[in-house]
């Protein structure tokens, strides 16, 4: 309603009325991240090689759905181990590293499926895969796992960014790899990554003088 009134007041030339309307505070939610065990389970859940390659590629390069479906075979450089993302969000091109393991999977996929131009095609080999199709692959794979987190295909991108930070990659590099226009967007992953928690112990672990696997069976001093 507020957004509608703002547009209306600007349309009729009453900018002051538009400005005086209250601001709308958006709820802040941290992205849900899959851990490494979740990912291993997810990547083997799909029976089709094509589906496994799609999911693995999204995570391995931190790609958006639209970036995946717009990939062409020529965008994959196996010798230089790079993926060329063309005209993505903000109308920018960028290069991202091609994982060694991903390269093996892609070569096997190309040999078996023999796509023509698009890396991932739909029902017609002359047309690219759809974003709804990519989302469907993720949903079907999740059904075959024990993962109970509320995640989507975009969660693989969140997981990629978080794991890079946990592996020690600096945030500026992560920003460039994700293709973010502003580093403040990337900084949200600092709230999720546990890279700053590695040397921090819970006070419960230091409360007792000796280790105990079962607190209820501990002899409390």
90 contacts 82 by C-beta, under 8 angstroms: no
- Rounded to an integer, the average pLDDT of 99-126 is 92
Residue 169's alpha-carbon distances to 61, 166, 172, in angstroms, are: 14, 7, 9
Residue 154's alpha-carbon distances to 58, 65, 106, 151, 201, in angstroms, are: 8, 7, 21, 8, 31
Rounded to a whole number, what is the largest CA-CA distance in the chain?
Answer: 75
Give pLDDT, residue 75: 97
pLDDT tens digits, residue range 209-218? 565 555 555 5
134 contacts 65 by C-beta, under 8 angstroms: yes
Give the pLDDT band of residue 220 (cuts 50, 70, 90). Answer: very low
Helices (H), the chain: 2-11, 15-19, 36-43, 49-61, 65-69, 100-113, 131-143, 154-166, 171-178, 183-186
> Which residues are known catalytic residues?
64, 89, 154, 157, 180, 189
pLDDT tens digits, residue range 36-94? 999 999 999 999 999 999 999 999 999 999 999 999 999 999 999 999 999 888 788 99
pLDDT tens digits, residue range 144-188? 999 999 999 999 999 999 999 999 999 999 999 999 988 988 998
**What domains appear along the chain, each with residue ranges and CATH number?**
36-191 (1.10.443.10)
Model-level pTM greater than 0.85? no
Pull the structure tokens for residue 105.
Answer: 């999977």
């Amino acid at each position: 309603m507020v957004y509608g009134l703002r547009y209306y007041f600007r349309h009729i030339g009453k900018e002051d009325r538009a400005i005086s309307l209250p601001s709308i505070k958006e709820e802040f939610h941290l992205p849900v991240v899959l851990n490494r065990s979740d990912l291993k389970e997810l990547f083997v859940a799909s029976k089709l090689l094509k589906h496994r390659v799609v999911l693995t590629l999204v995570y391995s390069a931190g790609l958006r759905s639209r970036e995946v479906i717009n990939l062409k075979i020529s965008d994959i450089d196996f010798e230089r181990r790079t993926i060329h993302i063309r005209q993505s969000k903000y109308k920018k091109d960028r290069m991202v590293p091609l994982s060694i393991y991903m390269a093996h999977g892609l070569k096997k996929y190309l040999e078996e499926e023999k796509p023509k131009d698009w890396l991932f095609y739909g029902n017609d080999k002359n047309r690219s895969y759809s974003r709804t199709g990519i989302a469907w692959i993720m949903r079907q794979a999740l059904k075959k796992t024990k993962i109970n987190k509320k995640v989507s295909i975009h969660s693989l991108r969140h997981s990629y960014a978080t794991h890079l930070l946990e592996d020690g990659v600096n945030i500026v590099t992560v920003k460039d790899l994700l293709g973010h226009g502003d580093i403040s967007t990337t900084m949200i992953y600092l709230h999720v990554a546990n890279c700053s928690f590695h040397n921090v112990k819970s006070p419960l672990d230091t409360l007792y003088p000796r280790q105990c696997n079962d607190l209820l069976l501990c002899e409390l001093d």
